[in-house]
Amino acid sequence: MNLRLLRLTPILGAVLSHAALLPAAIIGTNIPAKPLTVERIGSLPPARQPAWRKYLDRSSRQMQTDQAYLASELRQHKFRKAITPPQGNDVRSIPLNRPAEWYGQADGLRIADIILSFQTPAGGWSKNLDMSAHRRAPGEHFAPGNASRHVSQGDFDEPLNENWHYVGTFDNDATITQLRYLAKVIVALKSSAVQPYRKAFLHGLDYIFAAQYPNGGWPQVWPLEGGYHDAITFNDDAMINVLRLLRDVAEGKGDFAFVPAKVCKLADASVRRGIECILAAQIVVEVEKTDGGRAGRALELGRIGPSGRVERRTVWCQQHDSLTLEPASARNYEMPSLASAESAQIAMFLMELPNPDRETAAAIRAAAAWFDKTKIHDVAFGFTAGEGRRLVSAPGNGPLWSRYCEIGSDRPIFGDRDKTIHDTVDEISQERRNGYGWYRDTPQRALERYAAWEKEHPKIRM
């Protein structure tokens, strides 16, 4: 595995480039993520370029196919523009906790038919759709607007095409939830009527396989739509949800016993590449002098570099650049950083692996050490009279973790809609303080799981 070293200075140079010139309350300005482009692929070593060019071409052709499908419907039915579909929480409208037989009955099949109707030609689904309302009609869009209410000129969240946004995505549990639901329907039916659902399910898996980057990661949106959506996305557990589904498919049991063996093998290979991507993306920083020490300890931290300094593994960012795996920004207030909640989900996924190798075990232990180091006690993040949400003293409460920590120093950092980065949550706008989860407790569950995992997996001696 090729661990990437991130020293503090380059990160500050990229994200906090004007810190010395700004007021004390502002420590930097967020910068946009880089999309995947032909020009960027051209900067790769020649041997790596063909796979990426093929990927980008596949994405472009699929985007054209998807858009042509809708355009054809509009022409056929003489519509001037697409009908806006019902907006809602698609995940909540797709129940995954009903009795097994329910999925083969009228109510269960009604939702399944709606799911089938909104599957994009590529094989995925959009987000924020009410999947309980009605089947998609000819000329109806595959996605609602999905635009932020706060977008301004130059906003990282401004879509390149306002009429084609999140059309096929893993964000907000989309696509993965639909596939899990269809699997339950397929198991419940056990008749010739199952064929449309089986076909849609397998098409959805093909969508996932096609969307996977050559390095094993997944973008937030596919076909690619540019901006931060092209980044490898751990935010909201997007990539981890994909990997958990593929892992279940690869096992070929329970709801997925119907999946053909060759597809199970493809899923298993896809999971392996995804895990390799996770391990390669783990952020490593240079932290201290060392006289060498034991090699086992060095691997646990990361490695001992050529300078004799320890290069310590930490955790992950919410997004990583598709080509370089460097930490990347997303929305204006989501900066390259160490992300506590998403990293906890990644660590818990890795701890679910039945036979972790040395590299995986080292990644898990390093993440657990970082969670333990950065936890905060005796505070709460809640509403205060007249001032919105604040971090306040709360003896006995915790532990909590800042959602984002600065790479290298581990200090909590916070972003705002104007792209400014702060080291105190009280300094950001009240709208962002009230509307975003700046403190999380997810790492506590990871640490609890780690306590058991460590007993189950004695440390590997080098």
Instruction: Enumerate the active-site residues.
Output: 172, 331
- The 3-class secondary structure across the chain, one letter per residue, is CCCCECCHHHHHHHHCCCHHHCCCCEEEECCCCCCCCHHHHCCCCHHHHHHHHHHHHHHHHHHHHHHHHHHHHHHHCCCCCCECCCECCCCCCCCCCCCHHHHHCHHHHHHHHHHHHCCCCCCCCCCCECCCCCCCCCCECCCCCCCCCCCCCCCCCCCCCCCCCCCCECHHHCCHHHHHHHHHHHHHHCCHHHHHHHHHHHHHHHHHHHHCCCCCCCECECCCCCHHHHCEECHHHHHHHHHHHHHHHHHCCHHHCCCCHHHHHHHHHHHHHHHHHHHHHCCEEEEEECCCCCHHHHHHHEEECCCCEEEEECCCCCEECCCCCCEECCCCCCCCCEEHHHHHHHHHHHHCCCCCCHHHHHHHHHHHHHHHHHCECCEEEEEECCCEEEEEECCCCCCEEECEECCCCCCECEECCCCEEECCHHHCCHHHHHCCCCEECHHHHHHHHHHHHHHHCCCCCC
